Amino acid sequence: MTIDRANEYFAALPEGFAPAEELRAALPAAAQQVAYVGAAGTAGKTASAALIAAVLKAAGFVTGLYHAGCEPLAQRIRINGNPVDAGLLCTAAEQLSSRKPLPRAAAELAAAAICFGAAGCRLAVVELPDAGLAEALAHMPVCVVTSIGPDGVSRSLERSAALAAGVMREGAICVTAPGQPKAVLSELIVAAGREDCELVVPDPDDITFLEAEKFTSKVDYGGYTAPLAFLGRHAAGSAAIAVETALALCKKGLDIPDEAILEGLAAVENRSSIRVLSQRPLIVLDACHTPQQAMALLRVLNMAKVRHLSAIIGLTEEEGAEAFFTALETGLTPEEQKKDKGSMPGMRENPFDKVFLVTPKGTEDALTERLLEKARYHFDAELCESLEEAIGLAKAGSRRGLLICGSEAIALEAAAQLENR
């Protein structure tokens, strides 16, 4: 099997959920010898996982990292910061293709674990879109629940927290994000008690934002000071999670010096969060697609006093789109906006003069046409036939620059186009 065929195999698998025992049965003994740090939550998994893995690598451990996402799987499984060896992934694909097919999320995690075991990783950090899959990983001394917020679908915060708490294991240490909503923290405390899992909650007061140039970030958390490639309050929370995860692993017997923590925090490249490609003109990419992520993006733009941007939005789902547009316009959830009698759709000042909707690759044009009607309640919105057309119109009509957001797919597509211009 070639690497292209392996990527195609995983991309073609259906979505869905798999019982943990089915995933466990697909893992060879070497994969179960790895110590895993599982990350669940609604925002910040990718940044937190990358920071934790960088700290472990800096401490001298052979470290695996698995990101969920839409890039080819060969780019999302990494060992010591580098894409997985093609031969290892091909072997994993061959092993899995000879068994009963797993849903895509479970199959990707299984492939990552097989690669980590074969590469001799002592530790691996894995994103878990389905936190229940953590049960299939035999050794998880520390786990992470990142920020829980509105996801744009019908789940309550309590339900989202309960699902993320599925990552907890008996005898493990669970590190959660600072500043979780009270309803979320209450749910996590109950789950930790039920699972006999120690819960570590970073104190938001221990986070200090240090002076830095616009659209750069330097953060101190409890005496650990480092520049970050990520922007905003969520990024600082991810740094706090990484520090506390390293300290928790020390409690579990690993040697992670302070110097490795600082080196790891400073080393990570930002490919998932608010990413500034250019200052003049301002060009910002963000894979955000939930109301929680949209609010974080708007907060960063408002703190930087940015106005008169053109925005290009490429959503891949209709569910939650109205809540996303509301959050991107007002910085409020739909529930908060209902209570704010002074706020009506399309009436609040925001950074965007014009919004262009585009269809990401693999998404139907009819979906974007329906989304346009929702967007027009909040913005001066126009439909474009292609991303290339939208970038051209946005650049021509913008007084300040442009933002591309709405999905990882559109952010990656835009990055490729803009970097080749």
b/e sequence 325-340, b meaning 16+ C-beta within 10 Å: bbbbbbbbbbebbeee
So what's the pLDDT on residue 75? 94
Are 64 and 124 within 8 A, CB to CB?
Answer: yes
Backbone angles phi, psi at 356, to 5 degrees: -115, 125
Cβ neighbours for 190, distance < 8 A, ≥ 6 positions apart: none
So what's the pLDDT on residue 215? 73
Cβ neighbours for 94, distance < 8 A, ≥ 6 positions apart: 1
Q: What average pLDDT does this structure show over 155-178?
A: 94
Q: What is the pLDDT of residues 400-411, one digit of tens each?
A: 899 999 999 999
Q: What average pLDDT does this structure show over 9-13?
A: 92
| Domains observed in the chain | 3-267 (3.40.1190.10), 275-419 (3.90.190.20)
- Measured between alpha carbons, how far is 123 from 79 in angstroms, rounded to an integer? 10
So what's the pLDDT on residue 177? 96
- The answer, yes or no, to whether the previous bond of 281 is cis (omega within 30 of 0) is yes
**Structure tokens belonging to residue 4:** 């292209």
* Low-confidence winner among 111-120, 305-314, 327-336 (lowest mean pLDDT): 327-336
Q: What is the pLDDT of residues 75-130, one digit of tens each?
A: 999 999 999 999 999 999 999 999 989 999 999 999 999 999 999 999 999 999 89
**Structure tokens belonging to residue 326:** 């509301």
So what's the pLDDT on residue 343? 53
Cβ neighbours for 193, distance < 8 A, ≥ 6 positions apart: none
Binning pLDDT at 50, 70 and 90, where does residue 70 land?
confident
Backbone angles phi, psi at 164, to 5 degrees: -65, -35
- Measured between alpha carbons, how far is 304 from 209 in angstroms, rounded to an integer? 14
Binning pLDDT at 50, 70 and 90, where does residue 210 land?
confident
The pTM of this model reads 0.91
So what's the pLDDT on residue 345? 53
So what's the pLDDT on residue 339? 65
Cβ neighbours for 76, distance < 8 A, ≥ 6 positions apart: 66, 67, 68, 69, 108
- Measured between alpha carbons, how far is 325 from 372 in angstroms, rounded to an integer? 10
b/e sequence 254-292, b meaning 16+ C-beta within 10 Å: bebeeebbbbbbbbbebbbbbbbbeeeebbbbbbbbbbb
So what's the pLDDT on residue 212? 53
- Measured between alpha carbons, how far is 358 from 256 in angstroms, rounded to an integer? 45
